Structure 1
Amino acid sequence: MSQATLGDDEELFGEAANEMREDVESSLEDAWDALPAADEIWETDADNVLGVLNGLKTALDVGDAEDHLRDAKKWFTMGQRADAFEDADDLEAEIETLEEAIGDIADAGEQVGDLTSTIPALRGTLEDAGSVDDADADEE
């Protein structure tokens, strides 16, 4: 192999490494953009608790963030194994932060989902208890 070919290979590898980093950064940005906005989970127009919970459950959907995170991790892993990144600590830290954010949002969504199914049953129980109390008061 000639010196020119080796030089070209290094240049191509450098370009590929830069593109790989850009792919990771782009996927991370897309993942952050896919997460719900803070106002979406904070503000509501609902008239009752169940409406609030249903709206919150909908707002806590991470959308395509998990897919974008997977793409970022895929290209990051490929770049690391190829030793293509000179310094990838920032990418690794952002991937971990994003994973935690997605996990927190998913956990909150599960908790809200539990409440969404519990509140109507609780309301029914309390209404039934109220009708028993009303009946007892009528008998006295």
Structure 2
Amino acid sequence: MSQTALDNDELFGEAANEMREDVEASLAEAWDALPESDDVWETDADNVLGVLNGLKSALDAGDAEDHLRDAKKWFTMGQRADAFDDADDLEAEIEAIEEAIEDISAAGEQVGELTATIPALRGTLEEAGVDESEAEDEDEE
């Protein structure tokens, strides 16, 4: 085998290692960009609407989607180049982050719907309470 072929194989091996490191770094950044569990669980709000608004703010994947995109880009490139000896762990981690982001997004949508619904519900219940009080007053008379 010629020296050039050895150099090319060595360079390809280095590039494959660097590509894997890039994927792993992007995955780590994606995990770090997700909200902390305590931010989603704990609150210091005084009412339900405050809780929902705080939760809605906490349910933001932040830059996780961008980091996941970078990881997937380099992962796809590495797979197509057959650069990874074993990429099952990377693929599993990509799927796990995708699921986490989807869960966060779905929860955020549900909280957003509740945030829009709760004030109207409160108003309806307040009006019903006023009507009920008036009816009780009329019965007493």
TM > 0.5: yes
Tell me the matched-pair count: 139
- After superposition, give the CA deviation of every residue in 1:96-138 in whole Å (9 maximum; x if it has no partner): 0110011011111111111000000000000010111111122
**1:58 corresponds to which residue?**
57
Aligned residue identity for 1:127: E
**2:4 corresponds to which residue?**
5
Q: Gaps (5+ residues) in structure 2?
A: none
**Whole-angstrom CA distance in 1 between matches of 2:134 and 2:96:** 56
Aligned residue identity for 1:36: P
Note if 1:25 corresponds to 2:52: no
Aligned residue identity for 2:26: S
**Whole-angstrom CA distance in 1 between matches of 2:94 and 2:18:** 18
**Whole-angstrom CA distance in 2 between matches of 1:9 and 1:49:** 63
Note if 1:115 corresponds to 2:118: no
**Whole-angstrom CA distance in 2 between matches of 1:22 and 1:44:** 37
Identity of aligned residues (%): 76
- After superposition, give the CA deviation of every residue in 1:37-93 in whole Å (9 maximum; x if it has no partner): 110001100000000000000001000000000000000000000000000000000
**Whole-angstrom CA distance in 1 between matches of 2:12 and 2:49:** 56
**1:103 corresponds to which residue?**
102
**2:129 corresponds to which residue?**
130
**2:79 corresponds to which residue?**
80
Note if 1:42 corresponds to 2:47: no
TM-score in terms of structure 1 length: 0.97
**2:138 corresponds to which residue?**
139
**Whole-angstrom CA distance in 2 between matches of 1:128 and 1:61:** 35
Q: CA RMSD in A?
A: 0.8
Note if 1:67 corresponds to 2:66: yes
Q: Gaps (5+ residues) in structure 1?
A: none
**Whole-angstrom CA distance in 2 between matches of 1:11 and 1:129:** 77
Deviating 4+ runs (over 6 angstroms): none
